[in-house]
Structure 1
Amino acid sequence: MSKISLLERRQFIKTFGAAAGVAAGAAVSGPVMAVSSSSVGVKWDEEVELLIIGSGFAGLAASIEATKRGCKDVHIFEKMPYFGGNSAINGGLFAAPGTPLQQKEGVKDSVDIMVADQIKSGRGIADVALLRHVASHAAEALQLTIDAGAEFHPYLQQLGGHSVARTYQTAVSCGAGITQPLYNECKRIGVKTRNRSKFEGFLLGQDGSVEGVKMRVGYYFGKDDSGAVKNIRAKKGVIVATGGFAQNVTLRMAQDPTLTSEVGCTNAPGATGEGMYEMFRLGAIPVHLAHIQSGPWASPDEGGFGYVSNYSIFNFPHSVAINCKTGKRFMNEIADRKTRADAELACRDSQGNPMPPILISSFKDSKNHPNTAKVIKYNVGWKFESLEDIAKHFNVPVEPLKAQINEYNTYVKNGKDEQFGKDMTKATEMAGPFTVVRLWPKVHYCQGGVKVNTKAEVIDSFSGKPITGLYAAGEVCGGIHGVSRLGSCSIPECIVMGMTAARSALSA
């Protein structure tokens, strides 16, 4: 394929670039979109062996795996001033089948069971081959983080949509408990990490292969003319691990008009999707962009991911979610994310205005999570002695609330939820004192992105074959999870596919 046809035939996707300019403008001032060009006649300012764009879970894992396999010149480029990307502020939840903790706790699990759970959540359109690839290597990826120094709580959690407990959580209850050890390991083994470096486009050989990138070094986020552009050749290939586009308001509204700038978001400011756009320009297949997930565990009383999110994730199995208008439960507290987010969004007052529901937990249970003290300290959660106190504070009808709690306690005793079919394995009887937080979904994860195969190769929409020299891993990829992603499945995906991308690049 000639360089002319490679660049000119991609014009079908120009609208994505136009949208990005407007969208990212909602988050930063006047961004300039990346534009790829021919490498013919280009003066290379620098040459590296393997070039990785993005320093989150996927990029860090790729760099460690590549170095372990003998690559001596690995470079990570990060556009923000800090490393870790959006991964550093995620929930730090890692799902894997067949782990030591499962064996210790007597949990029967397998790759097949984990994949089946994800297929169900994906509503039939998830990529089964990719799910199976990730699940098959999830325990290996978990071990990579532990070897690097990541520490986890000594217990498993059963998150919504998972049929068994298979989720580890970092001891610090956030993604930094993984990104920091991985980053430190990268520094220890000699990976070159370079921040304030913004991707400006690919440089393409005459055969259409990706030979390198244009990188704006010395870049300051929001100042698109800052720094200077350098042409960097990548001998072994380019791995794009730039994350999702949840902060790109225009693009997410194009997919779902309800996701306006007034809707909260858990992502870091840099999650605007430029790397994804430029792969689309090259002809990468856009997959499932309309499937944007909101976290049903978020709070309207704090910004970003906050403290409440992990608190709620931990407490859902032994708590009740109450509609403040009725005083009754309205959902299965451990259903998949989309089911719960949709149910929460349906909680409205008589005028149709949002009426955030509440999550009630027994303090005897909630106190076991380290975030409980923080949500109370920072006034995003409250402790009450009685149901009457809860009803008065949140203007909930007290008699229906008391009846609901009594009814729920009979489900706990009988081991069967007659209302919503909740798995009662980890449920406990509700008794005061109680802790309470408010719930309201926030935009959290983009299921959509570029199509990759199980080798992390980016697939060309015209030929159906991999784009030579180009690999992608993490949230920038699309179609893996389908309509809805199960919680704690993004970290194993990012790390497994990052490792996979490194292996593929070095074996090409």
Structure 2
Amino acid sequence: MSNVDLLGRRKFIAGLGVAAGAAMVAPAMAVSEKADGVKWDKEIEIVIIGSGFAGLAAGIEATKLGAKDVHIFEKMSYFGGNSAINGGLFAAPGTPMQSKEGVNDSVDRMVADQLAAGCGIADEALLRHVAEHAMEALQMTFDAGSEYHPYLQQLGGHSVARTYQTTVSCGAGITQPLLHKCRELGVHTHNRSKFEGFLVGEKGEVLGVKMRDNYHFGEDQPGKVINIRAKRGVIMATGGFAQNVNLRMAQDPTLTSEVGCTNAPGATGEGMYEMFRLGAVPVHLAHIQSGPWASPDEGGFGYVSNYSIYNFPHSIAINRLTGQRFMDEIADRKTRADAELACRDEQGNALPPILITSYKDSKKHPNTKKVIKYNVGWKFDSVEELASHFNVPLKALKTQIEEYNQYVKSGEDKQFGKNMTKAAGKYIEAPFTVVRLWPKVHYCQGGVQINTKAEVKDSFTGVAIPGLYAAGEVCGGIHGVSRLGSCSIPECMVMGMTAARSMMKA
């Protein structure tokens, strides 16, 4: 029987709106097959595909629950995946630092903030599950040795300050300690190991995987494919598809190769695709989020992103054509990204807006020195100098700054309703630091549907596909239209831990 015949009843790729031949950029799509008659090269207790937040948390949790033979496979040459280069921002309610700073927060409040950003289509049960266990995941990072700045941040769309950030201001401050902890606990880690498909039983249950060893991303492949039996099951923690230009364009034609991306090159989505071929439910693939804190003056996530995230609460975003604010600087990501994209010159060409911050406030973040050093940010001693550099109407800008400073004084933003809690006492005054803003593709809200046990649901039966679990950005529908910043790390880790717990109970 051919692979097409074998999985014929589960043809879901056709329903995704992907043009024939445009499914993947690179590497080639994996193909699953029946395990009947397959020669197993290895037998492993637990197989985890992907070494980001979700995969590492799953490895640690499974081992703590008694698993003796846990293996994490990573297709790239380095561990950590896209997680290693994210912003290192972790949101949780009821944390020690909230208690220290007197912040009144709760699971209900965090869920409510996320539901508002999700615009009616987020999965409340999953959001609640993550929020309820977020502190456990944060504790796992503490135990592994992650270090955080001694202050909380209030990111866009969050009603209170609940976000920790690693001292290195990137996800590696979490992935590296978690990787070290995995190895300390005896978890086996393999890099240059690419997932090539599932091996399934007669009833569609996942029995194992095909893995290509000695894999070199984007090159001819010298490595051989081996068949691995997974005794307890497989956890897919393969991330999103933001670097798969063809797939993201099938969902949103405006996200061409000309649109920048903050993700690691391996975020291509083949693991997600193969779960669809097994019958997993595709959810919300068209909801692809762009980061409103990115800069057109540097590649990838860069230095400006974390700089902006920290400074948005006490800064003003200015349309260079008008010299006026054009958005709530801490609204949800989609609201801000759309507002930035609307900033155009009189001919309709893109005119990236600017974010203006007082240097005395911006310098408290370590990236301020870096954005100035690498010429992706500027320091000005006067508003006249700033306006001249960016060709911004001086009179309008001065008026706007004066008006905004009144909002800082009164605690009420009468222009856009911005929450001014974190802006208290932080006036916009010289000297200034300034960066340019322009969104970059950052996060895919779409993926496979899971339940609160991290089981992958079958689109025909509505029940879990036996032996298959998923966690992290490869899953869809959790956040709805817009994911709030700093909510991906708790989601990835909590669902990775959940997958391990479910697997060990099965």
Give the TM interval when normalised to the shorter protein: over 0.9
Q: C-alpha displacement at 1:350, in angstroms?
A: 1.0
User: C-alpha separation between the residues in 1 aligned to 2:104 and 2:394?
Assistant: 41
CA contact (8 A) 1:20 1:274 kept: no
List per-residue Cα deviations over 1:147-189 (Å, max 9, x = no partner): 0010000100000000000000001000000000000111111
Give unmatched runs, 5+ long, in structure 1: none
Q: Does 1:54 align with 2:50?
A: yes
Instruction: Give the match's secondary structure for 1:236.
Output: strand
Structure 2 counterpart of 1:104, from 91, 100, 104? 100
| RMSD, matched Cα | 1.4
List per-residue Cα deviations over 1:194-245 (Å, max 9, x = no partner): 0001111000011210000000111111135331000000000000000000
Structure 2 counterpart of 1:435, from 433, 457, 460? 433
- Give 1:179-190 correspondences, 5 Å limit: 179-190=175-186
User: C-alpha separation between the residues in 2 aligned to 1:82 and 1:207?
Assistant: 36
Q: C-alpha displacement at 1:338, in angstroms?
A: 0.4
User: C-alpha separation between the residues in 2 aligned to 1:436 and 1:250?
Assistant: 34
Match of 1:199 in 2: 195
Q: Does 1:478 align with 2:476?
A: yes
Instruction: Give the match's secondary structure for 2:261.
Output: coil
User: C-alpha separation between the residues in 2 aligned to 1:329 and 1:299?
Assistant: 18
Instruction: Give the match's secondary structure for 1:138.
Output: helix
Structure 2 counterpart of 1:209, from 193, 205, 220? 205
Match of 2:37 in 1: 41
Match of 2:9 in 1: 9
User: C-alpha separation between the residues in 2 aligned to 1:15 and 1:272?
Assistant: 19
Match of 1:293 in 2: 289
CA contact (8 A) 2:260 2:299 kept: yes
Q: C-alpha displacement at 1:20, in angstroms?
A: 9.1
Structure 2 counterpart of 1:253, from 234, 246, 249? 249
Residue identity in the other structure for 2:444: C
List per-residue Cα deviations over 1:250-275 (Å, max 9, x = no partner): 11111111100000000000000000
Q: C-alpha displacement at 1:351, in angstroms?
A: 1.1
CA contact (8 A) 2:17 2:250 kept: no
- Give 1:231-380 correspondences, 5 Å limit: 231-380=227-376
User: C-alpha separation between the residues in 2 aligned to 1:15 and 1:461?
Assistant: 12
Q: Does 1:176 align with 2:180?
A: no
CA contact (8 A) 2:6 2:33 kept: no
Q: C-alpha displacement at 1:13, in angstroms?
A: 2.2
Q: C-alpha displacement at 1:367, in angstroms?
A: 0.4
User: C-alpha separation between the residues in 2 aligned to 1:352 and 1:157?
Assistant: 35
User: C-alpha separation between the residues in 2 aligned to 1:20 and 1:134?
Assistant: 37
CA contact (8 A) 2:17 2:251 kept: no
CA contact (8 A) 1:95 1:166 kept: yes
Q: C-alpha displacement at 1:5, in angstroms?
A: 7.8
TM-score calculated relative to the size of structure 2: 0.97
Residue identity in the other structure for 2:305: S
Instruction: Give the match's secondary structure for 1:218.
Output: coil
Match of 1:503 in 2: 501
Instruction: Give the match's secondary structure for 2:421.
Output: coil
For the structure 1 residues 20 and 306, does the alpha-carbon distance in structure 2 shift closer, same or farther, using more than 3 Å as the test? Answer: farther
Residue identity in the other structure for 1:304: G
CA contact (8 A) 1:21 1:33 kept: no
Residue identity in the other structure for 1:150: S
CA contact (8 A) 2:18 2:247 kept: no
Instruction: Give the match's secondary structure for 1:293.
Output: strand
User: C-alpha separation between the residues in 2 aligned to 1:17 and 1:206?
Assistant: 29
For the structure 1 residues 380 and 403, does the alpha-carbon distance in structure 2 shift closer, same or farther, using more than 3 Å as the test? Answer: same
Residue identity in the other structure for 1:10: R
CA contact (8 A) 1:117 1:163 kept: yes
Instruction: Give the match's secondary structure for 2:478.
Output: coil
Q: Does 1:134 align with 2:130?
A: yes
Residue identity in the other structure for 1:217: D
User: C-alpha separation between the residues in 1 aligned to 2:471 and 2:409?
Assistant: 45
Instruction: Give the match's secondary structure for 2:276.
Output: helix
Q: Does 1:465 align with 2:463?
A: yes
Match of 2:404 in 1: 408
CA contact (8 A) 2:354 2:434 kept: yes
User: C-alpha separation between the residues in 1 aligned to 2:52 and 2:470?
Assistant: 13
User: C-alpha separation between the residues in 1 aligned to 2:327 and 2:177?
Assistant: 38
List per-residue Cα deviations over 1:387-433 (Å, max 9, x = no partner): 11110000101000000000001111111001000011111211110
List per-residue Cα deviations over 1:21-68 (Å, max 9, x = no partner): 63543xx4xx32111100001000000000000000000000000000
For the structure 1 residues 507 and 17, does the alpha-carbon distance in structure 2 shift closer, same or farther, using more than 3 Å as the test? Answer: farther
Instruction: Give the match's secondary structure for 1:22.
Output: coil
Instruction: Give the match's secondary structure for 1:379.
Output: coil
CA contact (8 A) 1:324 1:394 kept: yes
Instruction: Give the match's secondary structure for 1:239.
Output: strand
CA contact (8 A) 2:194 2:213 kept: yes
Instruction: Give the match's secondary structure for 1:250.
Output: helix
Give unmatched runs, 5+ long, in structure 2: none
Residue identity in the other structure for 2:438: W
Q: C-alpha displacement at 1:11, in angstroms?
A: 2.2
CA contact (8 A) 1:81 1:195 kept: yes
CA contact (8 A) 1:23 1:249 kept: no
Residue identity in the other structure for 1:376: I
Match of 2:415 in 1: 419
